[in-house]
Every structure is written in C-alpha cells, then in structure tokens.
Amino acid sequence: MSVRVVTATSSDIERLTVAFGSWPKPPELFADYLRRQAGGEVELVVAYVSDAVAGYCLLEWESTYEPFAREGLPEIKDLNVIPEQRGVGAGGALLSAVEDLAAVRCAAVGLRVGLYADYGVAQRTYVQRGYMPDGRGVSVRAGTPTSSLRCRSRSPRTTATCAPHAEVSALKSTRSRSLTSSRPG
C-alpha cells in the first residue's frame, strides 16, 4: 500500500472530520488548523492510503511551548493515525513531510509526547528517528507524566536540546537527513 501525503486544503477538512469523528477532534479544530495555515502559522499535512484518510500532522512554526519558542524552533504537534491504518507507514510519511518542511527554514524541530503506554509506539518511533531523551527528568501536565528529549545530529554541525514539558519534549536536527533515512527496518 502506498501512502500519499498532501498539504491540507478545504476539501480535506470534511474528510478529516469524518475519519476522526469518534476521536475528541471536533470539526472546528481542523477548520482552525486550516485558517492558521492560510495565515502562515502552521502547516497541516494529511496522509492518504488508498484514497482514505490515514492520519494527519501539524507543524507549528512558532511553538507555544516556551523552551522551543525561546530557541525559535517549530514544533511537530498532533500527529494522529487511524488505528486501522497503522503499520502501513502513514505515521512515518507524515513525520518525514513535516521534518522536510521544517528543514527548509530551521536547523532543528521539536516535538512532545506523553509517557503513558498509549504513546509507546510513538515513543519508539521518535527514538528510531533520532529523537532521544535528554535526561532532564519527568514533569506532569494535565495529569500526564512527561519527560524531555534531546537529539544530537549525526552531523557534527548541530546539536539540539530542549527542556521538560507536560509531554516528552524532543528536538531533532533537520540538517542531517540521515536521522530519518537510516532508520532500522
């Protein structure tokens, strides 16, 4: 199965709303993402498998997370893949798309993820892609235990660090594509 990733347009919003209808993702959320994309604040990408919505991801150019904002780092947010579409590469394709978008403007990109078992696949995926815990410990936000991550580029040109947040915080160099191209498997 091939995965196709596109920059979201108004025609994708209804499809996202239907696909994620049983999730706590109201239609207004996707409309807001599209409005913010039109204003240059974010990039919303959508993955399709066999013409069905498989997932979506948001790249926020100016993070609301203070440590990322202070460093001028964009943040990967709200990466979601429909359970029935997992395992076909949609999540990886979405991450590659937003990492590539970030690489055009930035040396690194950040992300955050919860520490509950529900986030286990995401945690492993981020480590495989070069996002690593930075050893700053665990914090709690809205009842979710979190930790911060650090990613050192495989290229000696850049090093990125981040601070704790309600979710695992991670940074990844966008200058070295080897972080995403040399994944195991």
Residues 134-158 have pLDDT tens digits of 555 565 656 776 654 544 332 323 3
Residue 45's pLDDT is what?
98
**Domain boundary residue, one of 84, 106, 128:** 106
Q: Are residues 102 and 114 in the same domain?
A: no
Domain that holds residue 165: 108-185
Q: Are residues 126 and 88 in the same domain?
A: no
Q: What's the rounded Cα separation, in Å, for the pair 68 and 99?
A: 15
For 41, 73, 141, 161, the CA distances from 44, given in Å and listed in that order, are 10, 17, 25, 25
As for how many domains the chain has, the answer is 2
Residues 6 or more apart whose CB falls under 8 angstroms from that of 33 comprise 8, 42, 44, 58
Beta bridge partners, 132, equal: 150
Q: How many other CB atoms are there within 10 angstroms of residue 118's CB atom?
A: 8
- CA-wise closest residue to 137 among 173, 103, 165, 116: 165
Residues 43-84 have pLDDT tens digits of 999 999 999 999 999 999 998 877 778 888 888 999 999 999
CB 161 within 8 A of CB 176: no
Q: Are residues 3 and 93 in the same domain?
A: yes
Q: Are residues 93 and 168 in the same domain?
A: no
**Domain boundary residue, one of 106, 129, 162:** 106
